[in-house]
Chains A and B, each alone.
Chain A
Amino acid sequence: MQITTHSRRSLLLGAGAAAGVLAVGSTGLMRPASASTGFEPTQTMRGGSNNYRPGAPFVERLGEGFWMSGAVRRAGDGAPLAGVRIQIWAATTLGGEREPANHGSVLTAEDGSYRLEMPQIVPNFGQPHAHLAYDDGAFQTVFLRPVMPSASDTSLSADFVLAPA
């Protein structure tokens, strides 16, 4: 009974906007309170924290030819978050994910965007993918593991929506 009530209320809250209804349909049962906003917190991806080395040094760049980029927003209102540290690592032409030279941190700009130039990401354990982390305490920790649609891509983007810790 309780679940049914929640579900119906969530659906009513989200009614009117197709996107809202979709968001409630997928997660409304879990968190009805935040279901009416468009900015759900990004969930940590499976395997996202593999080969994580906490505290990757801030870098201008890790290499050349490949761009990792994205945007960081606050859950709920979607406000861009400036000055947030994103840690990035991947298997590249320089070596594997455990190679220290493949780990670096960048800060988001005023508009919440971040970008990092790095060596070409290469397929690792069967998929060309990157790892990204937000792990600095102010918000809940999130680990991402985006996969490149093609190994010949020279860029990849991954966005974060962070929930307060």
Chain B
Amino acid sequence: MAENARSGAARLLAWAALAAAMIAPVAVAATSPLLASRGAPYVIAGLAGAAGLALLLAQPLLAAGYLPGLRAATERRLHRRVGAGIALAVALHVGGLYVTSPPDALDALLLVSPTPFSVYGVAAMWALIATAALVALRGRLGLRPAAWRIAHNVLAVVIVIGSVVHAMLIEGTMGALSKTVLCGAVLAATAVAVVHLRVLRPMRRRRAQAPGAG
């Protein structure tokens, strides 16, 4: 009984921490005083960017099965849905910025922007587009699971690092503290999941299968 209560409390704590890390940055951005001087497309673009960054935190946790109380099938389904959500957020982000200021958005997309952070965002965007294409064509491409995993993980790492650098260099509606905590969490979750899934687990499996093991 005590064991159960303790694991229940830990589970609740894990979910609460995840929710706080994801929701707080978006909530802070949604109450920024800067919003008063911005038009609707710009407000939506900013919030979509913050929401996309928040969703990035869930992806490695779902992929590695770190979230307590979820079955593997549920995690896989959620991972795909959250991925689609990130793609939608980035579309709103870029689209809203384009409507707000076409020359600034075009400069960023053409890599001639005066702002040093836009190139990181654009790199992450292309990696995201490549991921979406890979997901859509997965069956047709006939990729072996190992090749798929490498491609997907390399692109995911580019998305994560690009997005985090992009967000940290921007002075905008996001709060410094909640943004930094979220970015740190995204980096840590991605690093732990990639090392666990692609390095430690295959190594352990190989060792277990090796003759004379045990």
Segment touching B, from A90-98, A108-116, A133-141 = A90-98
Which of A92, A98, A127 makes the CB contact (< 8 A) with B171?
A127
Contact B101 A96 (CB under 8 A): yes
Shortest CB distance A16–B (Å): 35
B172 within 8 A of A: yes
CB of B39 within 8 A of CB of A47, answer: no
Spot the interface stretch: A1-9, A19-27, A70-78, A118-126: A118-126
With both beta carbons as reference points, the residue of chain A lying nearest to B104 in the complex is identified as A125
Determine which of B114, B115, B171 lies in contact with A151 in the assembled complex, contact meaning CB atoms within 8 Å: B171
A151: nearest chain-B partner, CB-CB: B171
The chain B residue sitting closest to A52, CB to CB, is B103
Interface hits, A26-47 → B, CB 8 Å: 45-47
Contact indicator A51/B114 (Cβ below 8 Å): no
How many interface residues does B have (CB within 8 Å)?
22
Q: Does B118 reach chain A (CB closer than 8 Å)?
A: yes
Contacts of A127 in B (CB 8 A): 115, 171
Our pick among A91, A125, A126, A128 for the contact of B37 (Cβ within 8 Å) is: A91
Closest-by-CB residue of A relative to B170 is A126
Interface residues of B in 120-174 (CB under 8 A from A): 169-172
Determine if A93 and B37 form an interchain contact, defined as CB atoms under 8 angstroms apart.
Answer: yes
* C-alpha spacing A23/B171, complex, angstroms: 33
Taking chain A's interface residues, is the majority helix, strand, or loop, or is none over half, making it mixed? loop
B117 with A126: CB separation less than 8 A: yes
Chain A: minimal CB distance from B180 (Å): 16
Q: How far is B103's CA from A93's CA once the two chains are assembled, in angstroms?
A: 21
Query: Does A50 interact with chain B (Cβ within 8 Å)?
Result: yes
With a cutoff of 8 Å between Cβ atoms, the chain B residues found around residue A151 in the complex are 171
Q: Which residues of A contact B (CB under 8 A)?
A: 45-51, 91-98, 122-128, 145, 151
Sample 29 A-B pairs with CB under 8 A, ordered by A number: A45-B114, A46-B107, A46-B113, A46-B114, A47-B112, A47-B113, A47-B114, A48-B114, A50-B101, A51-B101, A51-B104, A91-B37, A92-B37, A94-B37, A95-B37, A95-B39, A96-B38, A96-B101, A97-B101, A98-B101, A122-B34, A122-B37, A123-B34, A125-B104, A126-B115, A126-B117, A126-B118, A128-B171, A145-B114
